[in-house]
Chain A
């Protein structure tokens, strides 16, 4: 192995082939993020010129987000089930570790990243309508938003503990600034200070956990961690020295602190209500949707990555080389060496390398490894279930006494984080027992993320538009709004009903999918003879919480419709029939109508879950 070989392998790893960028290369998979980077640079570059000062950055940001979504191409990649032949096609998305194993590119990442880009598009339009960035601020603010989105994309695709930490930082640090975006306001600066201090602390704690885990397993590459853990636990739980168990558990707990902070899971939620109240509603929408979706994806990556032997994958450029063996300029060195060097971490599963690997000899070797990881999964599932239960319950209970709509929605966000963690617990518990059921659980989570995106964005959009109209975010000031802007009240009510999860609305799909996965998980785990009671408990807690949440959401609806208008409310200047109103209709439409497209959504979600578990 000499340097020249190493460098040419690096080139193949990045571009797929020595002479051109192939469809199955790292760079192609990373294209949406690169577009985001280019957009940020373009926004800065345009400002350099005198003419550029007059350009509205909104258009650049919008074009960048749309281009990113276009290159993420969920409509191409989230289709029906792939056959082995189709999977071997270079352009098909299966599991692929890109950039020497730093990131992983699969349908799940396509799905969540597409959701993030879609959100970015809607968000950019939203900020334009609500008028938060003025002409001079807009490059800074859109740069921060897109920078954070870039970090979130890395969270979704992280496959290495450094990338986990780095992605969390990349997503958080711009968010700290975003929280304090109205920098002349006391509350905003306080929110930013609290967020940054707590966030940095949580990141530090997580880093310490990462150092312990990486130190004891001698690797930071997540699939390799799973393999090492499987080897460690191959003799059963009792064969592992108790000291090592303690260090592993400690590391996992410390890492979970960082993740829980990003998820605003109780007891690391304390920043959430304060930051939501101090920051503007626009930023709240960003934090509660994009940040949460990315954090959930990261939770799935870390929990499943460490608890499950990674399924068969392809190396960048491998499929291209196979389909274009006679092509003139493929590789200077043989391609199987590529697999050999950079993908050695997947050795047990990628040894055969080709599409036939699915049924190759690697399979029998994988099963015992999966089995020996059972204690890891059980620990992780219980940890997540614990967090989910307290998060959900606390969020819903605390939302009761709130008088400020942003605080109320903050607690609602916390509660929903709890709901969304439930299927992850079920999935981790089911993996290795009922892989199909686990995949369904992931699909349920994916559906919930999609539905939640529209619901929460809509809710915060209403808050922002009403704030512009009456400078108030108190629920009491919303009284009697139905007489002033009936359409907006209808939209808001639909969104709130959706957040409860009432049947005709799309929020119901998400809840249903989640609870179904919990039932699946409970049955599968119990059938395998392991204690699955905690999954049933999750189901019960979820049900009770849904009932609890009914009241505080309905209270808002009641205030808006039944109560009389307060006498001391500032004059309300707001028309339903405006661009802002149209935006609300646009957002509410999927909330109300996605249930019609359930099949379509669930097909995409199933496709998203396809490559996560073997």
Chain B
């Protein structure tokens, strides 16, 4: 009865555990990086044996396939690409060894103690024959769990604490996104450098622009007056927010236009007026920007009236009002652009 009496689980466990730990130690002790990779292969192979032994066949096969067959091949590939003679074996200093040994052994002691300190971990399962096929062989159950259907914990003894009612559909799906991003990143890092890189940090510092720029009087005057007008409009908006025009009563404006305006403002939502004020302020800033020879200021000056028109159109004031406002606001901008493009040399050509 010798063979039958042998606890095969214990025997195989011992075998795999010794191989795993032994070659793990070999990984640490050898200084030759290729051998390190080889020992790591054997170590991880033995670990997959332990997975099989614990009943996790799918994980074991996965470990062989992805870890040993994929990741480690990749590592060895890296080793070979960098395996110049002087890098193959790099020795670790004695001091580091001693330190590593001390810290490592104390950590190991702690972890081993921890491993034996919980009772439910220490005691073996005695009723192994009660294990059903569904519990023991897990690839179908894993497949179901990856589609978020957990069949393993439908019947935990404590109803309240049925643990792990967690289907793994989301991780399963989202990890693919991760792999995609990571592969792009790895490809980016591993690609050879391109010629003609055009990054800001790789360009030489730009030459200083010519300092002696000049501008016709009309442009300067247009910019200045634009600033003043916009500032006034902005102040006006703020003033209207602070002291709304009365539509009726004694204070009601007699001027027909003002009355219309007051009614329009009253009809508009409360956020419109402050926003318009801010936009006028933005116009002032943009004019300053144009003053300082920046082309994008002009772009901004075109965009701001369009935004105003869009905002007004989205309220109850109607699209006609919006178009009117846009036209009124755009007219000076067009004038400004014409001014900028006139003269010799044109102001536009001197701008950045």
A residues with CB within 8 A of B: 1, 3, 6-7, 10, 13-14, 37, 40, 44, 99-103, 130-137, 140-141, 143-144, 146-148, 150-151, 154, 160, 162-163, 166, 169-170, 173-174, 176-177, 180, 182-184, 192, 212, 215-221, 224, 227-228, 231, 241-244, 246-247, 250, 280, 341-345, 347-348, 467-471, 570-571, 573, 575-579, 582
Contacts and interface: CB of A to CB of B under 8 A. Distances in A.
12 contacts: A3-B149, A10-B148, A37-B177, A44-B184, A137-B199, A144-B184, A169-B178, A177-B188, A218-B164, A243-B119, A341-B165, A573-B207
B273 interface: no
Contacts of A573: 205-209
Chain A binding surface SS class: helix
B208 to A, nearest CB: 5
Nearest to B291: A577
Contacts of A170: 174, 178, 181
B314 interface: no
A3 B134 CA distance: 14
Nearest to A345: B165
Contacts of B110: 250
Interface centre among A140, A228, A576 (most CB of B within 10 A): A140
A174 B169 contact: no
Contacts of B162: 344-345, 347
Contact of B167 (A100, A217, A571): A100
B194 interface: yes
B148 A344 contact: no
B189 interface: yes
Interface stretch (B23-31, B50-58, B153-161): B153-161
Contacts of B206: 573
Contact of B205 (A37, A130, A177, A570): A570
Given A37-B177, A143-B184, A577 B288 contact: yes
Contacts of B181: 40, 143-144, 146-148, 150, 170, 173-174
Contacts of B161: 219, 224, 227-228, 231
A37 B180 CA distance: 10
A96 B28 CA distance: 47
Contact of A215 (B121, B159, B199): B121
Given A132-B199, A176-B185, A469-B205, 12 more contacts: A6-B149, A10-B147, A40-B177, A99-B167, A99-B169, A144-B185, A184-B197, A216-B118, A219-B161, A219-B163, A577-B291, A577-B292
Contacts of B164: 218-221, 224
A184 B166 contact: no
B17 to A, nearest CB: 17
A12 to B, nearest CB: 11
Contacts of B118: 216, 241, 243-244, 247
B117 A183 contact: no
A218 B156 CA distance: 11
Contacts of B160: 227, 344, 347-348
Category for how many chain B residues contact A = 35 or more
A173 B117 contact: no
Contacts of A250: 110-111, 114
Contact of B201 (A132, A147, A169, A216): A132
B143 interface: no
A13 B184 contact: no
B121 A1 contact: no
Contacts of A218: 163-164
B166 A221 contact: yes
Given A143-B184, A247-B117, A228 B189 contact: no
Contacts of A184: 193, 197, 202
Nearest to A177: B185
B117 A243 contact: yes
B175 interface: yes
Contact of A173 (B185, B199, B292): B185
Contacts of A243: 114, 116-119
Interface centre among B114, B182, B185, B285 (most CB of A within 10 A): B185
Contact of B171 (A102, A135, A141, A150): A102
B350 interface: no
A102 B171 CA distance: 8
Contacts of A6: 149, 151
B239 interface: no
A99 B161 CA distance: 19
Instruction: Return the 5 tightest CB-CB contacts between A and B, nearest first.
Output: A243-B117, A131-B200, A147-B181, A219-B163, A177-B185
Given A173-B178, A243-B117, A577 B189 contact: no
A513 B258 CA distance: 47
Contact of B294 (A220, A571, A577): A577
A131 to B, nearest CB: 3
A220 B168 CA distance: 12
Contacts of A192: 189
Contacts of B116: 243
Contacts of B293: 577
Contacts of A212: 114
A147 B207 CA distance: 37
B329 interface: no
B294 A280 contact: no
A182 B178 contact: no
A418 B101 CA distance: 33
B165 A221 contact: yes
A147 B178 contact: yes
Given A132-B200, A135-B198, A174-B181, A1 B154 contact: yes
Nearest to A243: B117
B313 interface: no
B2 to A, nearest CB: 35
A227 B175 CA distance: 28
B170 interface: yes
Contacts of B197: 134, 184
B201 A160 contact: no
Contact of A10 (B149, B154, B193): B149
Contacts of B185: 140, 143-144, 147, 173-174, 176-177
A177 B200 contact: no
B339 interface: no
A147 B289 CA distance: 36
Nearest to B209: A573
Given A13-B148, A573-B208, A162 B201 contact: no
Nearest to A212: B114
Contacts of A148: 181
Interface string B283-320: 00100110111101000000000000000000000000
B186 interface: yes
B199 A246 contact: no
Contacts of B189: 177, 180, 183, 192
Contacts of A150: 174, 177-178, 181
A107 to B, nearest CB: 21
Contacts of A215: 121
A192 B188 CA distance: 13
A133 B199 contact: yes
B127 interface: no
A247 B112 CA distance: 10
B204 to A, nearest CB: 9
A574 B159 CA distance: 68
Contacts of B199: 131-134, 137, 182
B188 A140 contact: yes
Contacts of B202: 184
B56 to A, nearest CB: 14
A164 B67 CA distance: 22
Nearest to A347: B160
Nearest to B206: A573
B347 to A, nearest CB: 15
Interface in B181-232: 181-182, 184-189, 193-194, 197-202, 205-209
